[in-house]
Amino acid sequence: MTIAQWRNMGYQNQPEHQAFALLLEAPQVDAQIIIRDRFPVPRLVVCDQHGSQARFLLAKLNPSATYNNATDIAPGSDIIFTDDVSLQVFCEHLQRLAVQS
């Protein structure tokens, strides 16, 4: 069984599994501490492997495997559908806007 399966089964809500509840809570607390001090405030997406929100995590870990470059993806790799723009594309867009003004 995986940690996600234990969480989905509600083990963290049982008194005898208080340590498991703390294990699940610790990364959330750490993330909130990091987010609190950032501007602009980043979006926090909680996701499980192969879950509906996993594409966000995969796009950050392997941004080269997106639908924009499907011809360059290694055999057996997943295509990741994301609306996120790479930092390079964002900076180029800002530069074009700055020059136009």
d(CA 99, CA 101): 6
pLDDT score of 10 more than 90: yes
User: What does DSSP assign to residue 48?
Assistant: -
66 or 41, higher pLDDT: 41
Put residue 98 in one of left, alpha, beta given phi > 0 → left and psi -120 to 50 → alpha.
alpha
What pLDDT, on a 0 to 100 scale, did the predictor assign at position 40? 87
pLDDT above 70: residue 60: no
pLDDT band at 21 (very low <50, low <70, confident <90, very high): very high
Q: What is the CATH number of domain 1-44?
A: 3.40.20.10
Calculate the average pLDDT of the chain: 80
Q: How confident is the model at residue 68 (pLDDT cuts 50, 70, 90)?
A: low
Q: Give residue limits of the domains in the chain.
A: 1-44, 47-101
